[in-house]
Amino acid sequence: MSPTLPRPLVTVAELQALLAAGTAPVLLDCGFDLADPGAGRRHFEAGHLPGAMYVHLDEDLSGPRHMGNQGRHPLPSQAALAATAGRWGIAPGRPVVVYDNQGGPYAARAWWLLRWLGHAEVAVLDGGVAAWLAAGGALDTAAGLAEPQPPYPTVVGEGVGAMPTIDASALLPLLGRRRVLDARAAERFRGEVEPLDPVAGHIPGASHRFFKDNLMADGRFKPAAQLRAEFEAAVTAGCAPGEVVHQCGSGVTACHNLLAMEAAGLAGSALYPGSWSDWCSDPARPVARG
């Protein structure tokens, strides 16, 4: 029997075991740079895991932007994402491994979206490209070829399934009663700098956990027990995981904290997809600094 796909994180050794057993997962390279949207594709073309296909944050992992709401990286519609997943060759039960070389935020976005779509067999490669190379893995320059499938079968209704979401109108009256966790860098959270959005600061009452705090020095995720202890001490103390709302600048790096909590056995939190870029687009919404 072929080994099953570990979830939500898969090690290089576990991926190699899948490949050796003939269980070829769909491999998605999600590398990206918010400051240079073309960098991820250039790096992919220079070398990537053999058989991988490139997916672009703006083009594949986000929907069209709308003036004044939904933030810089809106969720794609469920129908659009289902069609994209089919083009990648993803069908129910087909293993999918996603990775990047930036510590996992863009891979986590792809993981979250596929889970939101209803696809359970998806995992993030722990440590990404660096871990693959450290284990002696080779890179390739030929893009992987998809085996196109019909649009992924979905449940009727946006976001139905294991990955709940919340929008600004629903979150606003819950401030002080739901634990909001901001994944941005500390100086952005405090409102000292804001390189991407027109207003600096954070949602009042939010807590802070920079997504890179989930990682060890080598770029792999901290052990599950350590992650659980850290989240329980600073984030979920006094509340259930389902009472936590994750946000960041535009709903991308927040998925890293969601992934870390799931790896720690603390699944069930909600994503605010529009995040700060959506929140600060309405001057009537409160802003905190410091």
Active site residues: 248
Tokens of 26: 């769909």
Task: Report DSSP letters for 173-207, one per residue.
Answer: GGBTTBEEEE-S-HHHHHTS--SSSSS--B-TT-E
Tokens of 173: 């009256």
Strands laid side by side in the 207-208 sheet: 207-208, 179-182, 244-247, 270-271
SS3 125: strand
- How far, CA to CA in Å, does 132 sit from each of 55, 72, 95, 137, 219? 19, 31, 18, 5, 11
SS3 18: helix
HSE-up (13 A, CA, CB side) for residue 78: 15
